[in-house]
């Protein structure tokens, strides 16, 4: 048998030989004894095990088994089992947008000889699918199902774990459950939006002439007035507050405190009214910054200005964003020139020509911190609206853009300027006391601009911005802008130390504030932005109906597109606010020219897309476990794409507990309590009913306090 010599054990022996499909010899084995032995039948199961039947006489050696016949000829049945190859990388299930390519891969080790592959779809072999990688081009809805692969080598075969693939419709993957327009006789803009735990919307911006909010009508006192409003989950406006005077006034940022108070920041000009406080003076026709705090019912609690005492030059200040910590303190970012007064002269800070600041107000409006977050010397300075976010640890994430011919310092860190293009950007992380943790410059051959920043639960940072020249943002990948656009949008993820983890392009961009960002509790990021012409983010490509169309896209923490949804009408469509609830329902606002079949055009628009949560197949069970013993809780769910898990103990996340089961190796008395798991997929998040662990401490000694 080629290079294999089988020793004869007697008169007639049994042998089995394997040949591949081309007739090449693979291996051979023999069995039998000194008598006459015959093979009468052979079969092979799906895993390559061989079942052999025949007769033998006398004694016979069949592998590790020795048989003795009871007569002249007895029947034997034997099974030859082999060690299958080891699969080191299972094919991964997930979701694919209709029209995209689907690729599945299996990794194998400990294989002997040639390795063959046969992919299956819902249990049926796929013709020609005989490589380690399976690629299906232009996947349609009929590609959804279960895939696995049979891996065979010389001595056995093994099936991979199943990979469940969901095909997501490329158009409108999530249904609209709310779409409402608000407007009036003049123009208006929604600039910022927030949401509370009860599903209420809070939004602010500016309007001209009159603003019809359904239950409330506002009339401008001048050019444009600032406003902030609260609406319930149906989009019905509960109250609205107006700030303004004869000049142009605007709300730029809105946030909600844990107790339901509402914070709004922006700019005003001379003679503005703030409730019964007014007209309030601004030194010149140049804008001055303001912060207001309103009660949950919309009553003005306090307002604060940021003023430049000088009346020469350009005594300007402007607030652009606000975040609130767990204690209700407000952190406000803005920009100003020269000396600035933050609380009617009680706190005055002087810096160079132009500088950025973060000011902290307590719940009563007292200034407790002013931090210089950006400074320039020796040149002209223009710093566009800086953006602000807060991570789970209370650290501040600041993003902005700078055009300067001089030296620029952010948080005490010198950035590599002069600017290579006309506009460069930066992102920085500060402690809640104003100390810089890290600063990252975004400086390429063209213009770069940061429009929004958002914090992920793991401490990483997402950045939405715009650029106009091919650039490596720091991860070794060169992004190329769309040459048909004045600016292309980019999305970055920065690690906890500020290093770039990944980058990608996202539709159109602008070198002024645009779009919106939100992050869910699994670290997926949602981008609200615009595009014109052809949007290549989703496949098949979407084409804008007219001008700019709006788009919302979801990316997982590794930067993979989960889904994208676009909408628009003949007019321009813009998303300026985006928020999520714990179930991943998506709330957003802006100005929409219309959503075909959903809503018409409006100056100020509110909308909600409904999440579709995974289905829980098995919830964890309550258990009673003795102290010092292990315990495991398990859950299972079905959904679209990759399923994510986060186990919780008494409502708090358990670090690193992100599998479908959770093991406590050694139960202690403090282990007792409620265990549940949050489960998420491409379209939603749900949570199981809690399981209660009772710790039995009877009869088993244990150490409450180790020796000191």
Per-residue pLDDT reduced to its tens digit, 512-525: 888 999 999 999 99
Q: Is the pLDDT of residue 679 over 70?
A: yes
Residue 516 falls inside a structural domain: yes
- Same structural domain, 298 and 367: yes
Q: Dihedrals φ, ψ of 137, to 5°? A: -80, 145
The strand pairing partners of 53, in sequence order, are: 41, 77
704 found inside a domain = no
Q: What is the pLDDT of residues 310-355, one digit of tens each?
A: 654 455 778 889 999 999 999 999 888 777 878 766 666 666 566 7
pLDDT digits (tens, 9 = 90+) for 541-594: 566 666 777 888 899 999 988 888 877 766 677 889 999 988 889 999 887 765
Which of 609, 628, 661 is the last residue in one of the domains?
609
Q: Say how far apart CA 317 and CA 252 lie, in whole Å.
A: 13
Claim to verify: residue 464 and residue 422 sit in the same structural domain:
yes
Q: Torsion angle of alpha carbons 460, 461, 467, 470, nearest 10°?
A: 0
Which bin fits 398, alpha (ψ -120 to 50), beta or left (φ > 0)?
beta
Last residue of a domain, one of 115, 144, 168: 168
At residue 142, the 3 state secondary structure works out as helix
Q: The domain that contains 455 carries what CATH number?
A: 2.130.10.10
> What is the rounded distance in angstroms from the CA atom of residue 319 to the CA atom of residue 359?
10
Cβ atoms of 101 and 137 within 8 Å: the answer is yes
pLDDT computed for residue 258 by the predictor: 95
* 184 and 131 in a common domain: no
Q: Are residues 473 and 562 in the same domain?
A: yes
Residue 379 is predicted with a pLDDT of 41
Is residue 688 within 8 Å of residue 679, measured between CB atoms? yes
Confidence at residue 649, expressed as pLDDT on a 0 to 100 scale: 97
Say yes or no: 299 and 376 in one domain.
yes
d(CA 408, CA 558) in angstroms, rounded, equals: 32
pLDDT tens by residue, 457-499: 999 999 999 999 999 998 888 999 988 888 899 999 999 999 9
601 with 641, same domain?
Answer: no
- Is 235 domain-assigned? yes
- Ranking 99-108, 445-454, 493-502 by mean pLDDT, the lowest is 99-108
Together in a domain, 552 and 682: no
Single out the residue of 234, 340, 240 nearest to residue 287, CA to CA: 340
Overall domain count for the chain: 4
pLDDT tens profile 41-60: 998 876 677 899 999 888 88
Could you give the percent of the chain with pLDDT greater than 70?
83
pLDDT over 80 at 701, yes or no? no
Identify the domain boundary among 23, 48, 80. Answer: 80
DSSP-derived pairing of the beta strands 25-31 and 14-19: antiparallel
Q: Is 159 exposed, middle or buried (0-12, 13-18, 19+ CB in 10 A)?
A: middle
- Please indicate, yes or no, if residue 540 is contained in any of the structural domains: yes
Are both 602 and 626 inside the same structural domain? Answer: no
What ranges make up the beta strands (E) of 154-256?
156-159, 163-168, 176-182, 188-195, 201-207, 210-212, 217-219, 225-231, 237-244, 250-256
90 & 76 share domain: no
Residue 451: predicted pLDDT:
93
493: which strand partners?
462, 502
Report CA-CA distances (Å) from 531 to 271, 503, 568.
39, 18, 10
Specify the CATH number for the domain of residue 95.
2.60.40.10
Task: Calculate mean pLDDT across residues 687-704.
Answer: 82
**Domain membership flag for residue 445:** yes
If pLDDT is split at 50, 70 and 90, which confidence band does 164 have?
Answer: confident
The region that residue 320 occupies, defined by phi over 0 for left and psi between -120 and 50 for alpha, beta otherwise, is alpha
Q: How many CB atoms lie within 10 A of CB 144?
A: 18
% of the chain with per-residue pLDDT over 90: 37
Q: What is the mean pLDDT of residues 373-398?
A: 74
- Using CA atoms, how far apart are residues 209 and 229, in angstroms rounded to an integer? 17
Three-state DSSP class for residue 292: strand
| pLDDT (0 to 100) of residue 197 | 85
Euclidean distance between CA atoms 577 and 507, whole angstroms: 17
Judge whether 601 lies within some domain. yes
Q: What span, in angstroms and rounded, lies between the C-alpha atoms of 225 and 212?
A: 14
By DSSP bridging, strand 478-479 and strand 448-455 are unpaired
Q: Per-residue pLDDT averaged across 284-298, rounded?
A: 86
pLDDT classification of 381: cutoffs 50, 70, 90: very low
Mean pLDDT of the chain: 84
Q: What is the dihedral of CA 607, 610, 611, 617, to 10 degrees?
A: 170
pLDDT in the model for residue 378: 44
* 492 is a domain residue: yes
Does residue 706 fall inside a structural domain? no
Q: Quick one: pLDDT at residue 170?
A: 54
| Closest listed residue to residue 567, CA positions, set 514, 507, 611 | 507
The verdict on 145 and 237 lying in the same domain is no
pLDDT at 154: 73
User: Phi first, then psi: what are they for 669, rounded to 5°?
Assistant: -55, -35
Q: Is the pLDDT of residue 410 over 60?
A: yes
CB of 289 closer than 8 Å to CB of 306: yes
pLDDT, greater one: 314 or 282? 282
- Which pLDDT score, from 0 to 100, does residue 545 have? 65
Backbone angles phi, psi at 80, to 5 degrees: -100, 110
Question: Which residues span the domain enclosing 680?
Answer: 615-696
Q: Do residues 280 and 425 both lie within one domain?
A: yes
In 3D space, the residue among 71, 70, 75 whose CA is nearest the CA of residue 14 turns out to be 75
Residues in contact with 476: Cβ distance below 8 Å, sequence separation at least 6, in sequence order: none
CB 294 within 8 A of CB 284: no
CA atoms within 13 A on the CB side of 238: 15
Instruction: Say how far apart CA 700 and CA 703 lie, in whole Å.
Output: 10
Element holding 301 (H helix, E strand): strand 300-306
Q: Is the pLDDT of residue 613 over 80?
A: yes
Indicate whether 215 and 152 sit together in one domain: no
């Amino acid at each position: 048998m080629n290079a294999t010599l089988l020793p004869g054990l007697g008169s007639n022996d049994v042998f089995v030989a394997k040949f591949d499909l081309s007739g090449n010899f693979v291996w051979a084995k023999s069995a039998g004894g000194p008598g006459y032995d015959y093979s009468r039948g052979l079969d092979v199961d799906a895993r390559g095990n061989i079942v052999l039947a025949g007769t033998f006489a006398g004694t016979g050696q069949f592998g590790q088994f020795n048989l003795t016949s009871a007569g002249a000829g007895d029947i034997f049945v034997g099974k030859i089992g082999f060690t299958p190859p080891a699969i080191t990388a299972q094919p991964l299930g997930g979701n694919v947008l209709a029209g995209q390519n689907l690729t599945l891969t299996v990794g194998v080790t400990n294989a002997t000889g040639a390795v063959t592959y046969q992919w299956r779809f819902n249990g049926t072999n796929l013709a020609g699918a005989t490589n380690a990688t399976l690629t299906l081009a232009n996947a349609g809805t009929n590609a959804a199902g279960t895939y696995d692969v049979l891996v065979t080598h010389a001595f056995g075969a093994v099936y991979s774990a199943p990979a469940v693939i969901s095909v997501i419709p490329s158009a409108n993957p999530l249904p609209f459950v709310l779409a409402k327009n608000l407007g009036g006789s003049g123009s208006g803009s929604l600039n910022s939006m927030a949401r509370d735990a009860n599903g209420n919307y809070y939004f602010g911006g500016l309007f001209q002439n009159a603003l019809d909010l359904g239950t409330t009508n506002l009339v401008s006192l001048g050019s444009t007035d600032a406003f902030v409003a609260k609406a319930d989950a149906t989009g019905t406006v509960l109250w609205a507050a107006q700030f303004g005077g004869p000049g142009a006034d605007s709300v730029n940022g809105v946030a909600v405190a844990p107790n339901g108070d509402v914070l709004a920041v922006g700019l005003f000009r001379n003679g503005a009214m703030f409730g019964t406080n007014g007209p309030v003076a601004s030194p010149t026709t140049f804008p001055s910054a303001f912060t207001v705090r309103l009660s949950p019912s919309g009553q003005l609690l306090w307002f604060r200005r940021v003023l430049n005492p000088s009346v020469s030059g350009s005594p300007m200040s402007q607030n652009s964003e606000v975040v609130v910590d767990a204690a209700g303190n407000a952190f406000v970012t803005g920009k100003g020139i020269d000396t600035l007064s933050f609380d009617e002269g009680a706190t005055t800070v002087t810096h160079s020509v132009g500088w950025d600041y973060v000011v902290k107000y307590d719940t009563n409006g007292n200034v407790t911190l002013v931090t210089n977050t950006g400074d320039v010397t020796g040149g002209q300075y223009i710093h566009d609206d800086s953006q602000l976010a807060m991570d789970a640890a209370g650290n501040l994430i600041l993003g902005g853009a700078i055009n300067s011919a001089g030296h620029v310092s952010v948080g005490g860190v010198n950035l590599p300027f002069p600017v290579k293009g006309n506009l460069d950007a930066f992102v920085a992380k500060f402690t809640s006391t104003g100390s810089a943790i890290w600063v990252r410059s975004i400086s390429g051959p063209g213009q770069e601009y940061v429009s929004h920043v958002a914090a992920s639960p793991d401490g990483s940072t997402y950045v939405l911005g715009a650029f106009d020249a091919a650039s490596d943002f720091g991860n070794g990948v060169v992004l190329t802008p769309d040459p048909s656009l004045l600016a292309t949008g980019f999305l970055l993820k920065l690690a906890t130390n500020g290093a770039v983890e990944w980058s990608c392009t996202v539709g159109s961009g602008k070198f002024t504030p645009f779009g919106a960002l939100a992050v869910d509790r699994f670290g997926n990021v949602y981008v609200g932005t615009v595009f014109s012409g052809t949007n290549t983010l989703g496949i098949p490509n979407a084409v804008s109906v007219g001008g700019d169309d709006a788009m919302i896209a979801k990316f997982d923490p590794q930067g993979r597109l989960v889904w994208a949804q676009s909408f628009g009408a003949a007019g321009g469509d813009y998303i300026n606010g985006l928020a999520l609830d714990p179930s991943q329902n998506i709330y957003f606002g802006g100005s929409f020219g219309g959503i075909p079949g959903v809503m018409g055009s409006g100056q100020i628009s509110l909308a909600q897309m409904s999440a579709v949560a995974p289905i829980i197949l098995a919830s964890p069970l309550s258990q009673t476990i003795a102290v010092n013993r292990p315990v495991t809780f398990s859950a299972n769910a079905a959904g679209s794409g990759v399923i994510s898990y986060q186990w919780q103990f008494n409502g708090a996340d358990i670090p690193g507990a992100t599998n479908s089961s959770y093991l406590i190796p050694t139960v202690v008395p403090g282990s007792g309590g409620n265990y549940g798991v949050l489960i998420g997929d491409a379209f939603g998040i749900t949570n199981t009913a809690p399981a209660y662990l009772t710790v039995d401490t009877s009869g088993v000694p244990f150490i409450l306090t180790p020796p000191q």
